[in-house]
């Protein structure tokens, strides 16, 4: 933390209290991630609205693959959120 603070705030090593001001609140970390997830959901919804029959047919033909991809996306998102919260300082 000291090196990160020294790299981001000039002459910060004598003033370590300034480093605490650099830490982000939880909502400052999670809001961009939530916006990205919402944008992805909107784009997926637009694909379904634009071509509902082929999209549903593809999902029905590849049910296991769709389930695995959704599960993997959920795990990746939760892992990214956890790491972002852990490393926000």
In percent, the amount of the chain with pLDDT more than 70 equals 74
Residue 31 structure tokens: 């809001």
**What distance in Å separates the CA atoms of residue 5 and residue 12, rounded to the nearest whole number?**
6
In percent, the amount of the chain with pLDDT more than 90 equals 51
pLDDT at 60: 95
- Identify which of 36, 45, 15 has the alpha carbon closest to the alpha carbon of residue 81: 36
Question: Confidence class of residue 87 from pLDDT cuts 50, 70 and 90?
Answer: confident
Does 67 score more than 70 pLDDT?
yes
Calculate mean pLDDT across residues 66-79. 94
pLDDT at 13: 53
**For the ranges 42-46, 59-63, 85-89, which has the lowest average pLDDT?**
85-89
For residues 5 and 12, the answer to whether their CB atoms sit within 8 Å is: yes
pLDDT at 49: 97
| CA 86 vs CA 29, 31, 32, 38, 68: distances in Å | 10, 15, 16, 22, 27
**What distance in Å separates the CA atoms of residue 61 and residue 41, rounded to the nearest whole number?**
21
């Amino acid at each position: 933390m000291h090196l990160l603070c020294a790299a981001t705030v000039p002459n910060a090593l004598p003033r370590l209290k300034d480093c605490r001001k650099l830490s982000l609140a939880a909502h400052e970390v999670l809001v961009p991630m939530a916006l990205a997830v919402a944008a992805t959901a909107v784009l997926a919804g637009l694909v379904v609205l634009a071509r509902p029959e082929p999209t549903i047919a593809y999902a029905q033909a590849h049910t296991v693959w769709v389930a695995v991809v959704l599960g993997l996306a959920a795990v990746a998102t939760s892992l990214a959120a956890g790491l972002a919260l852990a490393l926000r300082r």
